[in-house]
Structure 1
Amino acid sequence: MAINVNIADDIQRLHELHQSGALTDAEFAQAKEKLLGQTGSGASFNQTASSSYARDEDAINQLNRFRRSKGDRWLGGICGGLGKFTGLESWIWRLIFVFFAMCVGTGMLAYLLAWIFVPEEE
């Protein structure tokens, strides 16, 4: 909403300059087109919001495919599942979890939460 108010204010200023003779018709049209082109019209804003929503939905659908591994597991299969999901080797994920468990302390908590909430592959 604030973007539309700023655009309206800027167009009003351009119109006032045009009425006072400071801008020619061509300059006014060019400045108005440039202003609307930079900020985007309502239609292009809606298209951008719609495509952003579609990308978010795709990301959520991909995240829903994440499963704990049955075959590549040491404890709960989280690292094996992350390996399949991301393309990184599962031993790299194991090192990451061990590092965060030793240094920050959150690795064990993250692993346990993932073990609880991530479903096992079928």
Structure 2
Amino acid sequence: MIAGVCAGIGNHLDTDPTVIRLIWAALTLLSLGTGIIVYLAAWVLIPEEPGGETP
């Protein structure tokens, strides 16, 4: 919910973002925090949705 990474992945896969968040959290706990680094990388690499921000 910080950067919309899981929502974007869920949108792309036609899945509920909550499911993606739960899977991501479980994998982060099981991988001793590697998921946090992957999340930050995804935040930088995944492009923003066009028209996402309004002035």
Note whether the superposition's TM-score is higher than 0.5: yes
**Greater helix share, structure number:** 1
Structure 1: 4+ residue segments shifted above 3 A: none
TM-score, normalised to structure 2's length? Answer: 0.79
**Higher relative contact order (CA closer than 8 Å, sequence separation 6+):** 2
RMSD, matched Cα: 0.9
Aligned length: 49
Give the whole-Å Cα distance in 2 for the aligned partners of 1:96 and 1:106: 13
Where does 1:30-109 land on structure 2 (aligned, <5 Å)?
74-104=1-31, 105-109=33-37
- Secondary structure at the counterpart of residue 49 of structure 2: coil
TM-score, normalised to structure 1's length? Answer: 0.38
Give the whole-Å Cα distance in 2 for the aligned partners of 1:80 and 1:96: 13
Offset, 1:96: 1.2
Q: What percentage of residue pairs aligned between the two structures are identical? A: 35
Q: Which residue of 2 aligns with 1:115?
A: 43
Aligned residue type for 2:22: L
- Could you list the runs of 5+ residues in structure 1 that have no partner in the other structure? 1-73
Give the whole-Å Cα distance in 1 for the aligned partners of 2:24 and 2:35: 5
Contact 1:79 1:90 in 2 (8 A): yes
Structure with higher Rg: it is 1
